[in-house]
């Protein structure tokens, strides 16, 4: 059984039917990319896993437990971290506080700091700075780090390269690559080569449903199916 | 607010008098607004019943003091009874606030903000009318300050002293400033040094993100609504001894307006903004009261100036002085 299973999920924003029967699975230790054009339901899929946008139909199963309809904080506490689009830092909290808040009440804050500053030494010099004052790349590192603490085994990562300069994207890709080596990752990424480089498998979404899936090995943007669904 | 009541015997030019009044009003305004600020900041709920809770707190505190203080009660004992009454009122209204959040506010979180406004406004009507009935049944005048409660203050607070050439209630104003400072420090320590304070600061910025990090934001909402209601009650107990305010049913609307001005000027989601705005509004109010009562005879103008400050901030800087989100955009 896969660590994360999304089965025939239908999700809505109000009356707008966004996900129309999405099914996918992610095995433990795997990195899976969700690709597709803007507005096809990639972010909504991640939100539905966390029950931020609870599915009206279908199920989400994590580590053998049906989490559909459960409160988001309970799902997160099962070991799922979220690195959202636009990073969503608590900009008025310091870097340390952004890490501390992600640590469970019974968790070891010292160990969380070690995890974060071990993985991202660059952040150590900015521990007491408000996160809103950091550069975009540093904020992305905090966002990834925040998703990692508390013993999270799975990361849902949404558009990590969005709005970053190319050299910063490279640093973030390195960081994600290191994370992916130890965690299970479901990645939404518009940067096609980056997504293919980081992921083991991919799901291609269009109009709220999975239209193709498979191994990322050897897949290029020129492949017929990819070109058809990714071209503007 | 209290411009008319502030006439007393202020000299034509009295910076010391304006200063001590400004300090006491600043402290009172911060305490009055602090609960509303926490609730508004974290939950985005505009609790119109905040002033009613302050009014109820003033009556409850007054009831404890009138029931326990006699002519022979010493000054120290009166202070002790005051702090016991304040603690009891804070605890009681915290519990009531938490129950109101669970029973009434929680079911309508997913609806438009208008529902919350209508609900809390309905609570104002119910609470103020219920208070008026109870106060009348107790043989008191609901429209005027409860003088018996004011009379339970220690002589040191009730008396006027001539210091720096100014004859005023130095003891009362200094006491209010001290209690206000203590409340502010306690809230700042709670927000800055405790895990729950961290949740509140984070949730004020992005409640959804906080949930996704494993924080039970609904429980935080209950705690904060309860503490906010408790702080409203605490403010009422503090106002109960002050002849410029005193326990009366109109205290509900009077303190609600002050709280709104302070929270909006300070900025949504920022308790530090509330403190800064409370000081600013307190100083402006004291200065304008002196100016428009002693120099130019327009007793209603201090209130007009405060509302002008509010409107100016909303137009020029909708986030408020230190806010983290625009008012109405939470």
The domains located in chain A, with CATH, are 4-230 (3.40.50.300)
Residues in chain B: 330
Strands A57-62, A209-215: pairing is unpaired
CA distance B236 to B251: 9
Instruction: Nearest by CB to B198, from A52, A82, A101: name it.
Output: A101
Distance from CA of B284 to the nearest CA of A (A): 29
Position B324 in a domain: no
Q: Does A78 touch chain B (CB under 8 A)?
A: no
Beta-carbon contacts of residue B306 (< 8 Å; ≥ 6 apart): B1, B261, B281, B284, B285, B288
Is the pLDDT at A23 greater than 50? The verdict is yes
Measured between beta carbons, the chain A residues lying within 8 angstroms of B195 are 105
Instruction: Nearest by CB to A92, from B211, B215, B324: name it.
Output: B324
Strands A80-83, A154-158: pairing is parallel
3-state SS class at B167:
strand
Whole-Å CA distances, B316 to B37, B50, B177, B282: 21, 27, 31, 21
Q: Are B306 and B312 contacting, i.e. CB atoms less than 8 angstroms apart?
A: no
Give helix B217-239 / helix B195-205 axis angle, nearest 10°: 100
Instruction: Nearest by CB to A102, from B205, B206, B213: name it.
Output: B213
User: What does the pLDDT look like over A45-91, one tens digit per residue?
Assistant: 999 999 999 999 999 999 999 999 999 999 999 999 999 998 899 99
Q: How far is CA B32 from the centre of its chain?
A: 1
Instruction: Nearest by CB to B195, from A88, A105, A146: name it.
Output: A105
Beta-bridged to residue A61, according to DSSP, are A5, A66
Instruction: Nearest by CB to A73, from B202, B205, B211: name it.
Output: B211
User: What does the pLDDT look like over B118-133, one tens digit per residue?
Assistant: 999 999 999 999 999 9
Contact A91 B205 (CB under 8 A): yes
Q: Phi and psi (nearest 5°) for B190?
A: -60, -45
Beta-carbon contacts of residue A40 (< 8 Å; ≥ 6 apart): A205, A206, A207, A208
Whole-Å CA distances, B189 to A23, B42, B182, B197: 48, 17, 11, 8
Position B330 in a domain: no
Contact A91 B195 (CB under 8 A): no
- Residue written as tokens 């969503």? A88
Instruction: Nearest by CB to A52, from B198, B212, B214: name it.
Output: B212
Q: Are A148 and A114 contacting, i.e. CB atoms less than 8 angstroms apart?
A: no
User: What does the pLDDT look like over B69-97, one tens digit per residue?
Assistant: 999 999 999 999 999 999 999 999 999 99
A104: nearest CA partner in chain B? B214
Instruction: Nearest by CB to A50, from B198, B202, B212: name it.
Output: B212
Contact B198 A50 (CB under 8 A): no
Position B44 in a domain: yes
How many other CB atoms are found less than 10 A from the CB of residue A218? 8
Measured between beta carbons, the chain B residues lying within 8 angstroms of A91 are 205, 324
Q: What 8-state DSSP symbol labels residue A122?
A: G
Contact B209 A72 (CB under 8 A): no
Per-residue pLDDT of chain B (330 residues; tens, 9 = 90+): 444 444 444 454 567 778 888 999 999 999 999 999 999 888 888 899 999 999 999 999 999 999 999 999 999 999 999 999 999 999 999 999 999 999 999 998 878 888 989 999 999 999 999 999 999 999 999 999 999 999 999 998 888 888 877 788 889 999 999 999 999 999 999 999 998 899 988 988 899 999 999 999 999 999 999 999 999 999 999 999 999 899 999 999 999 999 999 999 998 778 899 999 999 999 998 888 888 877 777 777 778 888 888 899 889 888 888 876 655 433
Q: Phi and psi (nearest 5°) for B226?
A: -65, -50
CA distance B306 to B304: 5
Position B302 in a domain: yes
Measured between beta carbons, the chain A residues lying within 8 angstroms of B268 are none
Closest CA to B262 of B15, B88, B82, B54: B54
Position B322 in a domain: no
Measured between beta carbons, the chain B residues lying within 8 angstroms of A84 are 209, 212
Contact B202 A101 (CB under 8 A): yes
Position B323 in a domain: no
Q: What 8-state DSSP symbol labels residue A154?
A: E
Beta-bridged to residue A12, according to DSSP, are A17
B323: nearest CA partner in chain A? A92
* Tally of structural domains, chain B: 1
Instruction: Nearest by CB to B214, from A73, A84, A93: name it.
Output: A73
Distance from CA of A217 to the nearest CA of B (A): 32
User: What does the pLDDT look like over B246-288, one tens digit per residue?
Assistant: 999 999 999 999 999 999 999 877 889 999 999 999 999 888 8
Measured between beta carbons, the chain A residues lying within 8 angstroms of B206 are 88, 90
First-to-final CA distance of chain A? 36
ipTM over 0.90: yes
CA distance B130 to B133: 5
Pick the residue of B214, B220, B273 with the most A CBs within 10 A to test the interface with A by mutation: B214
Position B49 in a domain: yes
Q: Does A101 touch chain B (CB under 8 A)?
A: yes
Closest CA to B176 of B278, B41, B269: B278
Residue range(s) defining the domain that contains residue B73: 4-316
How many other CB atoms are found less than 10 A from the CB of residue B154? 20
Which CATH number covers residue B289? 1.10.3470
pLDDT of residue B6: 44
Q: Does A50 touch chain B (CB under 8 A)?
A: yes
Measured between beta carbons, the chain A residues lying within 8 angstroms of B209 are 82, 84, 88, 90
Contact A73 B324 (CB under 8 A): no
Contact A102 B214 (CB under 8 A): yes
Measured between beta carbons, the chain A residues lying within 8 angstroms of B198 are 93, 97, 100-101
- Residue written as tokens 């909402």? B221
CA distance B300 to B289: 9
Q: Which of residues 171-230 of B touch A (CB under 8 A)?
A: 195, 198-199, 201-202, 205-206, 208-218
CA distance B175 to B23: 11
Beta-carbon contacts of residue B240 (< 8 Å; ≥ 6 apart): B57, B58, B59, B61, B62, B65, B146, B149, B150, B246, B247
Q: Which two tokens stand for residue A221?
A: 């943007």
Q: Which of residues 170-229 of A touch B (CB under 8 A)?
A: none
Position B321 in a domain: no
Q: Does B316 touch chain A (CB under 8 A)?
A: no
Measured between beta carbons, the chain B residues lying within 8 angstroms of A52 are 208, 211-212
């Amino acid at each position: 059984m896969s660590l994360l299973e999304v089965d025939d999920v239908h999700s809505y924003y109000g009356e707008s039917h966004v996900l129309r029967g999405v099914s996918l699975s992610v095995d433990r230790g795997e990195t899976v990319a969700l690709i597709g054009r803007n507005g096809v339901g990639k972010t909504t899929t991640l939100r539905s896993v966390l029950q931020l946008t609870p599915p009206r139909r279908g199920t989400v199963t994590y580590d053998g437990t049906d989490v559909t309809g459960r409160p988001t904080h309970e799902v997160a506490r099962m070991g799922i971290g979220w690195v959202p689009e636009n990073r969503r830092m608590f900009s008025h909290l310091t870097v340390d506080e952004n890490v501390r808040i992600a640590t469970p009440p019974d968790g070891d804050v010292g160990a969380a700091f070690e995890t974060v500053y071990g993985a991202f030494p660059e952040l150590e010099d900015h521990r007491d700075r408000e996160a809103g004052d950091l550069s975009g790349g540093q904020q992305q590192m905090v966002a990834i780090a925040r998703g990692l603490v508390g013993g999270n085994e799975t990361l849902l990562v949404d558009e990590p390269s969005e709005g970053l300069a190319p050299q910063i994207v490279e640093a973030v890709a390195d960081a994600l690559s290191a994370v992916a080596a130890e965690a299970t990752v479901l990645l939404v990424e518009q940067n096609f080569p980056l997504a293919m480089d980081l992921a083991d498998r991919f799901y291609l979404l269009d109009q709220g449903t999975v239209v193709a899936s498979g191994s990322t090995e050897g897949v290029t943007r020129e492949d017929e199916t990819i070109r058809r669904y990714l071209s503007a | 607010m209290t411009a008319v009541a502030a006439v007393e015997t202020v000299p034509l030019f009295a910076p010391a008098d304006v200063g001590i009044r400004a300090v006491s009003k600043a402290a009172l305004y911060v305490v009055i607004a602090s609960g509303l600020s926490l609730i508004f900041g974290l939950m985005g709920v505009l609790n119109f019943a905040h002033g009613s809770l302050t009014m109820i707190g003033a009556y409850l505190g007054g009831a404890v003091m009138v029931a326990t203080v006699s002519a022979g009660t010493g000054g120290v004992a009166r202070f002790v009874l005051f702090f016991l009454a304040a603690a009891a009122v804070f605890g009681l209204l915290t519990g009531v606030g938490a129950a109101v959040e669970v029973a009434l506010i929680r079911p309508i979180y997913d609806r438009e903000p208008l529902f919350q406004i209508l609900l809390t406004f309905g609570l104002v009507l119910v609470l103020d009318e219920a208070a008026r009935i109870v106060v009348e049944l107790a043989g008191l005048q609901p429209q005027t300050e409860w003088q018996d409660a004011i009379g339970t203050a220690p002589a040191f607070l009730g008396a006027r002293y001539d210091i720096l050439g100014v004859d005023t209630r130095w003891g009362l104003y200094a006491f209010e400033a001290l209690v206000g400072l203590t409340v502010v420090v306690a809230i700042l320590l709670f927000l800055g040094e405790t895990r729950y304070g961290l949740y509140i600061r984070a949730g004020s910025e992005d409640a959804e993100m906080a949930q996704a990090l494993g924080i039970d934001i609904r429980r935080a909402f209950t705690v904060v609504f309860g503490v906010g209601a408790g702080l409203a009650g605490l403010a009422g107990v503090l106002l109960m001894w002050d002849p410029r305010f005193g326990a009366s049913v109109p205290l509900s609307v009077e303190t609600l307006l002050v709280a709104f001005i302070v929270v909006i000027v300070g900025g949504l989601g920022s308790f530090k903004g509330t403190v800064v705005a409370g000081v600013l509004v307190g100083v402006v109010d004291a200065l304008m009261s002196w100016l428009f009562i002693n120099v130019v005879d327009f007793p209603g103008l201090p209130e007009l100036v405060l509302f002008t400050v509010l409107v100016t901030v909303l137009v020029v800087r909708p986030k408020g002085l230190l806010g983290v989100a625009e008012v109405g955009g939470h």
